[in-house]
Structure formats: structure tokens, C-alpha cells
Amino acid sequence: RALDLDLGSSTQTSHRLLAYSDALLSIIATVMILPVAHTKIHPDQKLGESVQQLLLTKIAVYLMTFLIVTVAWAAHVRLFQVIELIDDVLALLNLACMMIITFLPYTFSLMASFPEVPFGIFLFSVCAVVIGLIQAVIVVYGFYHPHLLNQQIQVSENQNFYKRHILKIILRGPILCFLAAIFSFFFIPLSYILLGLVIVFPHLSRFITWCKTKILGQRNEEEEHHSLETFSFYLSEPLSKERVEAFSDGVYAIVATLLILDICEDNVPDPREVREKFHESLLEALSEYGPNYLAYFGSFVTIGLLWFVHHSLFLYVTKATRLMGLLNILSLAFIGGLPLAYQLTSEFAEKSHNEIEAIQVSCVITFFASMFQFAIWTTALLHERETLHPFARYGGKEHAFMFAKLALYPCVSLGAFFLTCLLSEFSTEIFHLMQIVIPFAFLALRIFVRISLTLIKSVMSFSRRKVV
């Protein structure tokens, strides 16, 4: 430590560096929806076919980017749970790491456009290996300057053990990628399988351990748990709640702002057209875009309220387990699809026969996004003593209201979906008006929950009195 002070490298808290990394990673994960949303679909084509033909590769790029970036993000969270303080060198190394991660979407674009050429997968693997190496350098640097480490690891006796373990976790993905790079020149399908492994590996290994303990009984796990107690506390607990929130906020924020970009690029009328077609009346020209404005406000309200539900949920979550983190990421992947829903419902409004299909796609996206939020809540309830604030547990004063909040969007989107099947008159206008009205439902909900709770209580006390 004396040496380090001699070198004059000033130690800093990592808070802002992590916030910046979270912002970068969440934006890069989500922004690849733009090429999907901007795909021009000819109005005469049926949406069903064109989705299959045109959008499939782009959606694949979006999903692959999203999942790989979240894996990289999870590794980053782990890494900086071990290294708690930073200095200038670590900050620069982290920025270098971010630079390579933001380049990943391009390699996916190459892969999706040329699936049978090995170069795309080779380039991706090289990037992944470089990221792994930089992170390994960060770990080695951190353990070489122990005052940067987590307090608990700093005082522990087997620092070397920690170091080897964290290196193993960080280099696991890059080694698989390295193999994928080699195989890409001989047998491409194997490379794709290896890359798929990178994404599922953390969850797979967790699942295998879980199965093992179920089959071999509790004893084995307890033994293991005992020897690595403090250790597993830091490394198996994958996600700090603040960083889950920061990452989610980034996704919600970028999705909400991508919408206005489209409005600004597509819905400003051409001055010449206004002069010739609308006799210099700007208002008349703008009234053509009415449905787009409605679509914009409807989509923004949906995104804003889904954020609001997420925010309310995480107010009462005290600890984010690994499964909750996974469900959150799945929810966010669908949230990222909302600009596509906006584009479909505003582009196809009135123009083609695909209106109903567009609304159905929107409903499906909203349904899954909100359903995975609901699943986070259900998972939290399973271990409510560890993961939930007393207010939100069974019988807590906010429990019923939280349930209602989380159930609202799945119900509404399911309802809208069935309405599209039943009513042939259902249009995008009605759909967007529905979206805009929902916030008032939130306020009504609180009153409704309150009344029904009072009713239940009075009925209960009434029946009890009867029994007595």
C-alpha cells in the first residue's frame, strides 16, 4: 500500500464508473432494436410473411446482442463486487473493455447477414477473448493492489483462492469463445452451439448444482456451503440491487426516447408538399399525422407505466436473487421490443390490412414484458423472508395493491388481444386510447383495492360474529 501511495495513484470510489458502465451497457443492449423497427415493409405485403422474411435476421441480431450484453454485464457486476475501489488505471482499462463490448453488435450484424461465412463468428470470438483478457488484467491488477479489494476479501487469508475463482468465472466465457473461433474454420454449427453455451452456461451450471443437491440430498450442499461461507456470499450472490435498477432504468429510458426520434424524422411535413398539396395550411398537413401522435403518446404511457411498476416492485425487493435477475432480463428484452410495436401500429394504421396483426404483436410484446415482471414478484414471494420488505409480504399492507399493480398490464394486454379476435371494428386508434387511459386505472386501482379490502374485512368480521 505504501508503494501505491508513493506512485501517487489516487484511489477512488467506483460508484460513478459503474453507473456509466451500466448506462453504456443498457443502451447498447437496447439500441439494436432500431434497425429492426426501421425495416421498411411494403404496405401491400402481408405482415405475417414480411415479418418472417425481412425481420427475422434483424430480430435475431437484436436478441443475440441483448443476451450477450447482459451476460457481459453480469460478469462486470461480479467483477466490481470484488474490486470495490478504483484508480485511474482501472478506469481506463474499464473504458477499453466497454469499447470492445459496444463493438459486439456489429459482429452480430455480420453473422446475421453472412451466416455461412466463418469471419463473423471469428470476429465476435476475438472480441470476446479480448474482453476476457482485459477483465483478467483488471482482476490481477486489483489483487496486486489489495487495498482496492472488497473489505472482506482484503482481510481473508486465502486471497489466492478468491483470485483463482474469480478468474475462472471471468475466463469461462472467453475460453468457450476461443474454441468457437478455432472451430469456425472447420465446422460452423459447432461454433454456434459453443456461443449458445456462453449465454446459458451460468444458468445451466446453477441448474445442475440444484438438481444434484435435490438428488443427493441436502447434506452435500450444506458441507460445501460451510467451507465457503463468506466466499459464496460474494460470488454466488450475483447481482447488486442498485446495478439491476440502474441497468433497467437505462433500458426503459432509451426505449422511451427512441420513439421521439422516429416522430421527428418521419412526421415533419415537407415544406414543398405543404405548399402544393395543402394550400399552405400546416395544420391540415399535420392532421394527417394524427394517428402517429396518438401512437406516440400511447407507447410512451405504456413504457412509463411499466417502469413505474418495476420501480414499485423493486422498492419492496430487498435482495435480487439470480433467478429474479434472469426474469428481469427477459422482461427487459421484451421492453426493448416496444419501439417495434410502436412502429407497427403507427405505420400500418389505416394503410393496410395488417392493422389487427400489428395490434396483436403489440399486445404479445406488452404481455410478456409485464408477465415476466409478475414472475419476478412470484419468485420473490417464494422466499419472501429474504427477498421482500415486510410491507409487501403476505398480509402486509401493500401486498394486495402490489398484486393489483403487477396484474394490470397482463390482464389488459390479454384482454386487448382477445378483443382483436372478436371485434372486426377494433382499430389502432382505440388501442392507443386504451393505452393512454390506463394511468387513470392505476389511480382507480388504489381506491378499488381499498374498497374491496374493507368489504372482505367487514364480511369476515360479520361471519365471525355470526359464528360467535
Beta bridge partners of 166: none
Q: Which residue has the cell 402486509?
A: 396
Cβ-contact 412, 344 below 8 angstroms: no
Contact letters for its own copies, residues 114-133 (x by CB under 8 A): x--x-xx-------------
Contact letters for its own copies, residues 336-375 (x by CB under 8 A): ----------------------------------------
CA count, 13 A, side-chain hemisphere, 79: 31
In the complex with its own copies, the residue whose CB is nearer, 117 or 204, is: 117
Residue 218 near its own copies by CB under 8 A: no
Q: DSSP labels for 235-289?
A: HTS---HHHHHHHHHHHHHHHHHHHHHHHHHHSSPPHHHHHHHSTT-HHHHHHTT
Q: Which of 60, 274, 364, 381 binds its own copies (CB under 8 A)?
A: 274
Report, in Å, the least distance between residue 450 CB and its own copies: 7
How many Cβ atoms sit within 10 Å of the Cβ of residue 207? Answer: 11
Report, in Å, the least distance between residue 26 CB and its own copies: 9
Report, in Å, the least distance between residue 184 CB and its own copies: 12
User: Distance between CA atoms of 309 and 374, rounded to whole angstroms?
Assistant: 10
In the complex with its own copies, the residue whose CB is nearer, 26 or 420, is: 26
Contact segment (CB under 8 A) with its own copies among 47-55, 206-214, 255-263, 347-355 equals 255-263
Q: Which of 3, 41, 55, 110 binds its own copies (CB under 8 A)?
A: 110
In the complex with its own copies, the residue whose CB is nearer, 272 or 466, is: 272
Q: Which of 74, 79, 98, 177 binds its own copies (CB under 8 A)?
A: 98
Instruction: For residue 223, give every residue at least 6 positions away whose Cβ sits within 8 Å of its Cβ, in sequence order, or none.
Output: none
Contact segment (CB under 8 A) with its own copies among 132-140, 347-355, 356-364, 443-451 equals 443-451
Q: How far is CA 452 from CA 222, 390, 394, 455, 463, in A?
A: 45, 22, 17, 5, 16
Which secondary-structure segment (H or E) carries 205? helix 188-216
Helices 241-266 & 338-347 angle (0-180, nearest 10): 20
* Length of the chain counted residue by residue: 468
User: Distance between CA atoms of 242 and 314, rounded to whole angstroms?
Assistant: 10
Contact letters for its own copies, residues 275-314 (x by CB under 8 A): -------xx--x---------xx--xx--xx-xx--xx-x
Contact letters for its own copies, residues 382-411 (x by CB under 8 A): ---------x-----xx--x----------
Q: Which of 269, 379, 403, 404 binds its own copies (CB under 8 A)?
A: 269
In the complex with its own copies, the residue whose CB is nearer, 447 or 467, is: 447
Which secondary-structure segment (H or E) carries 86? strand 85-86
| Closest residue by Cα to residue 349 from 340, 338, 359, 362 | 359
Contact segment (CB under 8 A) with its own copies among 126-134, 181-189, 256-264, 454-462 equals 256-264
Contact letters for its own copies, residues 2-21 (x by CB under 8 A): ------xxx-x---xx-xx-
Residue 260 near its own copies by CB under 8 A: yes
In the complex with its own copies, the residue whose CB is nearer, 23 or 235, is: 23
User: Distance between CA atoms of 336 and 255, rounded to whole angstroms?
Assistant: 6
In the complex with its own copies, the residue whose CB is nearer, 57 or 321, is: 57
In the complex with its own copies, the residue whose CB is nearer, 219 or 440, is: 440
**Sign, CA torsion 27/336/128/201:** positive
Cβ-contact 21, 76 below 8 angstroms: yes
| 219-238 residues near its own copies, rule: CB under 8 A | none
Phi, psi dihedrals of residue 85, rounded to the nearest 5°: -115, 155
In the complex with its own copies, the residue whose CB is nearer, 29 or 75, is: 29
In the complex with its own copies, the residue whose CB is nearer, 117 or 460, is: 117
Q: DSSP labels for 107-156?
A: HHHHHHH-TT-HHHHHHHHHHHHHHHHHHHHHHHHHHHSGGGB-HHHHH-
Residue 441 near its own copies by CB under 8 A: no
Q: Which of 60, 85, 95, 228 binds its own copies (CB under 8 A)?
A: 95
Residue 442 near its own copies by CB under 8 A: yes
Distance in angstroms between the alpha carbons of the first and the last residue of the chain? 74
Residue 24 near its own copies by CB under 8 A: yes
Q: How far is CA 96 from CA 16, 43, 100, 130, in A?
A: 16, 44, 7, 10
